[in-house]
Structure 1
Amino acid sequence: MKIIVLSDTHMPKKAKELPSCLIQDLKTADLIIHAGDWQDSSVFSMLSDFARVEGVHGNVDDEEMKNMFPAKKIIQAGSFSIGIVHGHGTGKTTERRAFETFLGDQVDCIIYGHSHIPVMKYSEGILLFNPGSPTDKRRQQHYSYGVIDASGAKLDAKHIYF
């Protein structure tokens, strides 16, 4: 199961279309996860042309997006339980807020966004994964998104930088 992981697309403000390298990966996706700050529902429509889309809303998303997506979600991908949250809030780091959102939940992976900083590490046996942004790199050297293979005995995650 190939999962494409996105966050912080901020479209159409930061880009009018999805990057071509991302589109190539989307063509072979089984599932797409978006961790919020879509900015506009047209992003959901674009992504839905490729595969099933799961996601949450972020702090810049409007009421339409908040009605479409919750603030927190847990999904099953193959044999894995994946928590999704944007990660915004006050106090603590984005990573810590994301992690604490799922305290008491049984998840194998937590996908979050907000900071636009790619992260891939384990904390207390849980994979923490921030894909960065494919359209708004801010202070990062590269744009990025994530690819997770959920078909094996363990999640195999990586960032795609461009």
Structure 2
Amino acid sequence: MKKILILSDTHMPQKGRVLPDQIISVLKEGVDYIIHAGDWSEKSVYEELTLYAPVYGVKGNVEKDEWAEQLPEKEVLQAEHLNIAIVHGHLGKGRTTPDRAFQLCIDEEPDLIVFGHSHIPFMEKRDRIILFNPGSPTDKRRQKEFSYGLLTIDANEIQLQHHYFT
């Protein structure tokens, strides 16, 4: 069984000085991986997350420093039987963020596409591919609550959920 924390758009330290208690709680309970779909803002977010589990993530549209040059635009993670593609969602063709993420990742033959950028929690299945945006744990914009995602893979079953908090 694998448990994966899914984050995006942390925008730290501009939108939050520290990771919210809800995220720290999940990390302390234990996760196998952490996925971050971009807009970390600073390397310190990555460094803190690596204290808990291996981190897989991509560059968003706000990272501008030298560290950002090391981040990929797209990353693919194999977790158990799932092929997971990760992008931020600001690049590519398509009218909406989910459309752009889908178009950028379709060639990877993913089972799951994780993206961010809009700060809007989103989950939709297109053919056999699940598109998932966890929202943001620090910058909810016009959303009612902050959010993140949790993915649990157990044998051939997956559970993918948004978790909300105020």
After TM superposition, the score normalised by the length of structure 2 is: 0.94
> Which residue, 33, 36, 41 being the options, matches 1:31?
33
Name which of structure 1's ranges 56-65 and 18-27 shifts more when overlaid on structure 2: 56-65
Q: Distance in 1 between matches of 2:70 and 2:79?
A: 20
Q: Distance in 2 between matches of 1:84 and 1:47?
A: 17
Q: State whether structure 2 residue 78 is matched by structure 1 residue 76.
A: yes
Encode CA deviations 1:120-141: one digit per residue, 9 max, x unaligned. 1211111111000000000000
Equivalence for 2:110: 107
Structure 2, unaligned runs of 5 or more: none
The correspondence of residues 7-156 of structure 1 with structure 2, limited to 5 A, is: 7-27=8-28, 28-89=30-91, 91-156=94-159
**Alignment coverage as a number of residue pairs:** 162
On the 8 A contact 1:82/1:109 being kept in 2, the answer is: yes
Encode CA deviations 1:101-127: one digit per residue, 9 max, x unaligned. 012221110000000000112111111
| C-alpha deviation, 1:36, in angstroms | 0.1
Q: Distance in 2 between matches of 1:154 and 1:65?
A: 36
Counterpart residue type for residue 123 of structure 1:
R
On the 8 A contact 1:7/1:114 being kept in 2, the answer is: yes
Equivalence for 1:5: 6
Alpha carbons of structure 1 residues 91 and 65: separation in structure 2 relative to 1, 3 Å: farther
On the 8 A contact 1:15/1:135 being kept in 2, the answer is: yes
Moved over 4 A (4+): none
Name which of structure 1's ranges 152-161 and 41-50 shifts more when overlaid on structure 2: 152-161
Task: Give the root-mean-square deviation of aligned CA atoms.
Answer: 1.2
Q: Distance in 2 between matches of 1:155 and 1:82?
A: 12
